[in-house]
Structure 1
C-alpha cells in the first residue's frame, strides 16, 4: 500500500490523523525509531554484547529491517484464549510450523509464541527468524476460570532453543501483580545476562477499572503507568493496548475512594483527547521512547475489511505518536495465510511510508 492507498482506506473521518501536529511533548524530546536505534539507545546501557546483537538481529529482520520499526507476529492465544477457540477459524495453526511460516512470509521481525511451539521447530527455523519465547501465560482450563500469569518454562530453556528474546505478561492492578513483577524482573535479569532481549506485555486487570460504563483498562494514564513500571524492570520493548480514553486516575478517585497519585496536567499538558497524543503519553512513560512501544492489534472481527482498517489505523497512530511498531496476531492468523500475509504487509507499509511521519 502506498500513501494514497492508506489515506483512502482510512477515509475522510481519519484524515486529521495525517495532518495533526502534537500539542503535548515535542517529538524532538523523544528517542525515536531509527536505523541506529540500538547504537543510540541500548549501546550506552547495561545490556551485554549478546543482548545488543540480538536486539540488532530483531531490528534487522523482515520487511522493516534497518528502519528502527518492528512488526511482530504473536500467537500465544492457544493458551491464553484456548486452542480450539483461537484456531477454529483456521485449523492449520494447530501446527506451530505454520505460525513460523506466516511470520516469515509476512515479513515480520520476530515470531512470538510458546515454549512448545518454538521448541518443536527450533532446529529448522531458529536461524531463519528471531524467536521470542513467551515465558508465562494465563490458562483457561481451571474451573472456574481464574486470571493469573504463571511461568510455563525457564529462561535457560528459551536460550537453549535458540531464542533471541523472551516475553512475559504482567497483570498490573491485579491481586497477583506483586508476585508477577518479582518473577518477571528476575526472569528479565537472567535473560539479559544470557544475551536475550526482553518484551513485556503490560496489561491492566482489575474489575474496578470498569466504571460508569467506561473501561479504563485502555486509559492512557493507567496504561502509561504500567509501561513505566515495565520499563523500570528493564523491558527492552513494551507491548500495550492502544489507548481509547483517558482519566482513569481521576475516575477511580471520585467519591471516597483513593487510588494512586496523579496530577491533572496529565490530562491538560501531557495528553489530550487526540488518539495520537493519548498514545504519545504511553511513549513518554517508556522513558521517552528508550523502550520501544508496540501496540497490540486486538481481536479479529471476522470481517476482513474491518480488520485491515483497524490494523492500519492503529499503525498510523502508533507511528505518528513516536511508537516502534505493531504486534498483531488474531487479525492475521485467523484467516487464510495469504490474507494474513497481506494484512501484516499492510501494517508494515505504514512504517515504510516516509510521508507518514512523527507528529
Structure 2
C-alpha cells in the first residue's frame, strides 16, 4: 500500500470544526481485517452534514467521512474476501464512528462488506449508492406487506432527493403507478422521465393536517418525516403501508393513532445502517437486476476528492439534484 493517500479529513480543535482535503500516511488507517483501494464513494446528505458541520453526526475526530464505498481488496485477514475482490459497503457507522469512503484507501471490518454483484461496475454501484440501496429496501418492505401494482397509487416524498428519485425509478420498473411529492415542482419533467405519473407540491403535505384525511395512496415511501409523514399516514387507504427512511423535514412525528386503528395502516422503519448481510445481498442483487446504465448516468454526476467540500456546501444549500459519485482515484 502507498505510504501517502488523499482523504477528506474532519477535525475539531477548541470548537473550531473544519474539513479539508489532506494527505495522510496509510499507516494511520484503523486496524481492521480488510484493506481496500477505494474506487468510488458518494456524497450523501449525511456526508454533507458531516463535512459542513451543520449537524453533529461525526462521533470522533479526526474523521474521514463517506458512508458508502466500493473498493478492490488489497489485503485481507478474512476468509470471506481475497485480494482483488470487489466489495461494497453501506453504513455501519462508517464516516461517523469509523473512517469512511472519501479517501483513496480504507480499512474495514469484513462483516460490513458484501461482494459487488458481477453484473454492475464499481461506478454503477456508487451511482446507486446508499440512496438506491435504501430505496430498494423500502420497495422490498412494501412488497413483503403485500403491496402490488394493483393496490393503487404509491406516493414518494422528497422525490428530487437521492432516495426519492431512485424509489420512483424502481417502482416504475416494477409496474407501479407513482405519485411524486417535491419542493421543486420546476423539476416535474425530470421526475416524469424517471417514472412519476403525477407530481404534486410538497406544500400539500408539509403543514399540520387533520388526523384522518381522504384516502389517496395505497402505500408510500417517505424520506421527509415530521408533518409530511403524519399527513401521508392520514391519507393512506385502508390497509396501506408507508416506509420511513429519512427526516429531511424533521425527526418529529406529530401524528394521530387514528389511521392505524381505523384504517389498519402500517408504518415500517427502514434502517440501512446495521442491516443483516442477507438483506444487503438481496437488495443489491435486486438493484443489479433492475437498474440500467442509461438511467444511472441520467441521475448522477462524477466529481473528484478535490471537489467534495465545495459540492457538500452546494448539497446542503439544496442546489444538487440526484446522485454525486466521487472518483477517489482521479
Q: TM-score, normalised by structure 1?
A: 0.26
Q: Which structure has the highest helix share of the two?
A: 1
Q: Which structure has the highest strand share of the two?
A: 2
